[in-house]
Amino acid sequence: MTYYIVIPAHNEEAFIALTLQSLISQTILPKKVVVVNDNSTDKTAEIVEAFANENPFITLVNKTSEAIHLPGSKVIQAFHKGFETLDDQHDIIVKLDADLILPNNYFETIIKHFQSDATIGMVGGFAYIEKNGDWILENLTDKDHIRGAFKAYRKKCFEQIGNLKPAMGWDTVDELLAKFYNWKVVTDSTLKIKHLKPTGANYNKTARYKQGEAFYTLGYGFFITAIASAKLAMMKKKPLLFLDYINGFLKAKSANTPLLVTKEQAEFIKDYRWKKMKDKLTR
């Protein structure tokens, strides 16, 4: 199976070389890697060009956008810019962040998962961050969720879910829509990815409100949002974030913000979330 990678990058001169080095060291190389230089003001483009000169499957695309970093929309707009440059001669499409070090067998293992079952739509490993000299699990999500930093999609699944949504919550709605269309989402705990920049390091208060808005646009409803907000705030060890998330949800609701999903998909998502919660309580 062949795979293409799109990497949105904004001011990643400290990390992008490490990410690209881990890609050119893969046991099965990608056919194409597109790095989207999204309005960087540092040497990101120069570093990518140096890799591209030595590795013809790597290309650089430049994009101009606002400097402000709001999670979701900016990065996925950059992803779309890179994806538009690709042909359809791939089996797997991958969205990667520009601050990762992947194990050398990462994509060999990903491909094996896809080959093992034609109903597997998405595969990914787990993020680890450095703390006091050790690499520990970046424990922000359930073990059955693939982090937005490294998403690999079977082409048919990617097409059926309608590409990636340019909004916060995109890396949850993609999995929920995959399940809506009866695709399996697989996580592999043996695939340990070094995440060099902790999630949310640059997020401001507006971005934190966006998390609550994302819960609304996923069709969660207030009670599921409250539970998800409390859980996420506690996982981040910042209980007061709960209030930001709830405020974001209520602002989105009062503004009648459009959902990212259809009414039928929203009902499926609510039912799926309630079922997961009940399953955890009865274990």
∠ CA(41), CA(95), CA(273), 5° rounding? 120
- pLDDT (0 to 100) of residue 68: 53
181-213: per-residue pLDDT in tens? 999 999 999 999 999 987 654 455 667 788 899
36 and 18: one domain? Answer: yes
79 and 174: one domain? Answer: yes
Residue 224 three-state SS: helix
- pLDDT (0 to 100) of residue 208: 73
**Mean pLDDT score, 80-94:** 97
More confident: 143 or 56: 56
- pLDDT (0 to 100) of residue 64: 84
- pLDDT (0 to 100) of residue 204: 58
**Mean pLDDT score, 81-91:** 97
Residue 271 three-state SS: helix
- pLDDT (0 to 100) of residue 70: 56
Decide if 282 is inside a domain.
no
- pLDDT (0 to 100) of residue 153: 98
Q: For the chain, what is the domain count?
A: 2
**Mean pLDDT score, 223-228:** 92
183 and 221: one domain? Answer: no
The residue segments making up the domain with residue 130 are: 3-195
182 and 235: one domain? Answer: no
Non-local (6+) Cβ contacts of 51 within 8 A are 17, 20, 24, 58
52 — pLDDT class (breaks 50, 70, 90): very high
Q: What's the gap between Cα 240 and its chain centre? A: 25
Run of H or E residues at 200? none
Of 24, 30, 12, 31, nearest in space to 97 by CA: 12
- pLDDT (0 to 100) of residue 143: 84
276 — pLDDT class (breaks 50, 70, 90): confident
pLDDT of 179 over the 80 cut:
yes
- pLDDT (0 to 100) of residue 8: 96
67 — pLDDT class (breaks 50, 70, 90): low
Report the predicted TM-score, pTM, of the whole model to 2 decimal places: 0.89
- pLDDT (0 to 100) of residue 210: 85
More confident: 275 or 181: 181
185 and 212: one domain? Answer: no
Of 195, 217, 242, the residue that ends a domain is 195
pLDDT of 277 over the 90 cut:
no
Decide if 283 is inside a domain.
no
d(CA 277, CA 269): 12
109 and 191: one domain? Answer: yes
Which of 14-28, 162-176, 195-209, 249-263 shows the lowest mean pLDDT across its residues? 195-209
23 and 119: one domain? Answer: yes
